[in-house]
Structures are given as structure tokens and as C-alpha cells.
Structure 1
Amino acid sequence: MGNHMTEQAYYFYVLLCADGTLYGGFTTHVAQRVATHNAGKGAKYTRVPSRRPVKLLYYETFSTKSEALKAEYHFKHQPRQAKIDFLRKQNIFF
């Protein structure tokens, strides 16, 4: 056996909540994380029943945890219109 390690990917993702709000998050497994949110076991924000179900709108892959967390932080600290503009630039309309 060599010292080859499997590359770990880190993701920043954006959800559209049932109440029309947007939620940005970080994970190492996108599909599993979305399922966790929809099961009411995700972030406090998406545990509110009126915010579920959530729908995955966008995700981006990063090679480091730090980069993914920076993307999440940047998204979360923008006004709603800036978040919508970011998504539109990715050709995501909802």
C-alpha cells in the first residue's frame, strides 16, 4: 500500500426553502445533506416546518474546507437580492 489518500471534496450549496427563502450551507456530501434538511434534522433554519421541503438550487465544489466555508460565509452575509443575482449568474432562476 502506498500513501495515496482519497481526495476529499467540500461543497458550498444553496437551497430554496418552501417559504421562498434561500439557505446557504457547507457539506462533504450534498445529496445526503439535502435529505437531512428535508428530514427536519439539518440546520436550525431549515428545521422550521414552513421552510420544508427544501430544494437544491446550486452547489460548488472546493478542494479545501476553508474555501467552501468562505463561500458559504460570503453568501450568507449578502442581502437577498445579491443572493438572487449570484444564482442568476449561474443560470439559476426560481
Structure 2
Amino acid sequence: MGNKLNGCSIESWYLYIVETKLGHWYTGITTDVKRRVAQHESGKGAKNLRGKGPLKLLFEYPVADKSTAAKLEWQVKQLTRVQKERFVASKGATANDAIKSLMVLTASS
């Protein structure tokens, strides 16, 4: 699924947010959003989501590498529910400075 650089495979990473049938939001990172959501729905993903499907994918954002993806995930998880709702509705445009800096790094990579 990744790109090639000097003959080596480079995987693209994604930040994603899903909503459970009960309206709870879950934020994660992966190299394949479609596969990961399917894993969550089949009970093979995060324990936090087992039995809480069907899931609705609310947001996904490409990230340059795993390190940046993990940092971005942590920053998004620090947001309140209202802040996350604004973040998703604006497709990331209403992010705080820390999140914007990680998103800019991704866009320029």
C-alpha cells in the first residue's frame, strides 16, 4: 500500500476517527483505514470497540510516517468532544496549533 523510495517500501499512515452505534468516537492510526475499520467491526481491532459496531468512518487524514501519525493521534485524543466535532466538520481546519503543525509537516512531505 506504500510508496517506494530507493527501492524500499514506505507505508503511508492515516489518522482516522470512527463513531460507534452508541455515538462514541474512537481515534486511531493505521496504514489501511478500510482494513482497520473492518477489523474493528469484526472484533479483531481495539478492545474498546468490540461489540460496538457498526462503525461509521467520520474522518481520515494521510500522514507521512508512523511517528507523526502517533503524535497527531495523541493531540487529537486530547481534544474535547466539541473540539473533535469541530475538527471533523472542518476537515481539520479548526485544529489547534500543535495539530496544525503536524498536519503541515504531513502536507509538505
Give the alignment of 1:53-68 within 5 angstroms: 53-68=54-69
Q: What is the TM-score with the length of structure 2 in the denominator?
A: 0.74
Structure 1 unmatched runs, 5+: none
Q: How far, CA to CA, are the matches of 1:90 and 1:26 in structure 2?
A: 16
Q: How high is the TM-score relative to the length of structure 1?
A: 0.84
Aligned equivalent of 1:12: 15
Backbone CA RMSD of aligned residues? 1.4
Residue 72 of structure 2 is matched in structure 1 by 71
Could you tell me which runs of 5 or more consecutive residues in structure 2 were left unpaired when the two chains were aligned.
1-5, 93-109
How many residues align? The count is 87
Highest relative contact order (Cα 8 Å, sep 6+), 1 or 2?
A: 1
Structure 1 runs (4+) greater than 2 angstroms displaced = none
Alpha-carbon distance between aligned partners in 1 of 2:78 and 2:53, rounded to the nearest angstrom: 22
Residues 8-55 of structure 1 deviation map (CA, whole Å, 9 limit, x = unaligned): 1011101011100111001111111000000011111101x2x21111
